Amino acid sequence: MLRPLALLSVALLPCNPAIAATAERAPAGTLADGTVIEAVTLTGANRVSARIISFGATLQSLTAPDRKGQLADVLLGFDDAADYERLPSYFGVTVGRYANRIDGGRFAIDGKSYQVSQNDKGNALHGGAIGFDKRQWRIVSVTEGQQASVTLALTSADGDQGFPGRVEAQVTYTLDDTGTLTIRFDATTDQPTVINMTNHAIFNLAGEGAPGGALGHRLTIPAKAITPVSPQLIPTGALRPVAGTVFDFRTARTLDEGIRDGRDPQIVYARGYDHNFALDKGITSSPELAARLEDPVSGRVLDVLTTDPGVQLYTGNFLDGTVIGKAGHLYRMGDGIALEPQKFPDAPNKPQFASARVDPAKPYSHVMIYRLSVAR
């Protein structure tokens, strides 16, 4: 069982409560076609800061103090904003229209079949070949005060990557003075479609590029089951209990305890962890805990909360040393951990899963939170 947060960590309280959170907007480079990338840096009085760039509505950096007050960027990614276009790797991006995988890129709505972009061994992954992560978003508002925020918008045309309906999507990042970054996704459509949006930040709480990677982090996920996958990483449709397996994170354990356990075919299929956990809480009206990640060395703690019913644990299994990231660091498997709140993968083809359907009269909304604190 999870212990109350107050027993585990302390919030990153403001150094001076009178100082409000700030937002700074600036150019951040150009895309290949000359389009200017913009960046907005949100900073709280406690020195936590989040930098968001317009390409991919991407969370480029998230900087926070450790138990000694030393600041570090805890996200894998690139220093140069243009590299997010040049070297697409999903670091910190907004994922859509549909996060995770759709079997064969095919699904049906009201008896009509759709074939969407296949970009992952015949399947659709993270919205297809040109998903929301590979688009230039519009910055529509920037605010500061008790909280600092930026809202970005994107229009996805009917037929974009094969998906039906014209979709107007928005994502809002809001940072407060307690180390809480709230990410809200909203979308409307003019005809029935499927939408599943999330953020794909990859964390190393010891600091991006820290020696030893992130596999020594302790992870807790309040989920009694996962959605097991085929060798193609498509959910079978079943729920597999985690009890007695390397997927049991109901009590905190380090990731390296199970990531190489080749006795479990699920670990073999994914080359580590790349699985959706069916959260005990299900769909909720306000964000509730989906995962807690703790770095015993720095003392940093990350709580991930969501209104959605699942969270994908991904241990960077396909990082193979060919990507050079921030500060010249070469990224390999286990250098970072992604915890992606979501509807279940392949839900459009699995009626037993919570529906990802969105209709004109029922707009889409998903709220997730990254909450940083420091262990006592």
Tell me the per-residue pLDDT of 90-118, one tens digit each, with 9 for 90 and over.
999 999 999 999 999 999 999 999 999 99
**Residue among 222, 368, 358 at smallest CA distance from 287:** 368
Residue 372 has pLDDT above 70, yes or no: yes
| pLDDT at 17 exceeding the cut of 90 | no
The token pair that represents 17 in the structure block: 């409560």
Residues 6+ apart with CB under 8 A from 241: 224, 225
Strand partners, 49: 43, 63
Reported as a single tens digit per residue, the pLDDT across 272-324 is: 999 999 999 999 999 999 999 999 999 999 999 999 999 999 999 999 999 99
Q: Look at residue 104 in the predicted model and tell me its pLDDT.
A: 98
Exposed, middle or buried by CB within 10 Å (0-12, 13-18, 19+), for 244?
A: exposed
For 34-91, the pLDDT digits (tens) are 999 999 999 998 899 999 999 999 999 999 999 999 999 999 999 999 999 999 999 9
Domain residue spans in the chain?
A: 5-375
Which residues are paired to 323 by β-bridges? 331
Angle at alpha carbon of residue 287, lines to 284 and 288, rounded to 5°: 85
CB atoms within 10 A of CB 225: 17
Residues in the chain: 376
Three-state DSSP string of 263-317: CCHHHHHHCCCEEEEECCCCCCCCCEEEEEEECCCCCEEEEEEECCCEEEEECCC
Q: What's the CA gap between 329 and 95, in Å, rounded?
A: 24
What residues contact 307, with CB distance under 8 A and at least 6 apart?
283, 284, 285, 286, 287, 288, 341, 365, 366, 367, 368
User: Which residue carries 């940093």 as its tokens?
Assistant: 300
Residues catalogued as catalytic: 200, 340
Over 80: is that where the pLDDT of 10 sits? no
Residue 5: its H or E element: helix 5-8
In whole angstroms, give the CA distance from residue 346 to residue 100: 8
What is the reported pLDDT for 6? 38
pTM: 0.95
If one looks up domain 5-375 in CATH, what number appears?
2.70.98.10
Tell me what pLDDT residue 4 has.
Answer: 37
Locus of tokens 């004109």: 360
- For residue 162, the 8-state DSSP code is G
* Residue 15 pLDDT grade (very low, low, confident, very high; cuts 50, 70, 90): very low
- E strands of 66-200, at which residues? 71-73, 94-95, 101-102, 106-109, 112-115, 124-125, 138-143, 148-156, 167-175, 180-189, 193-194, 198-199
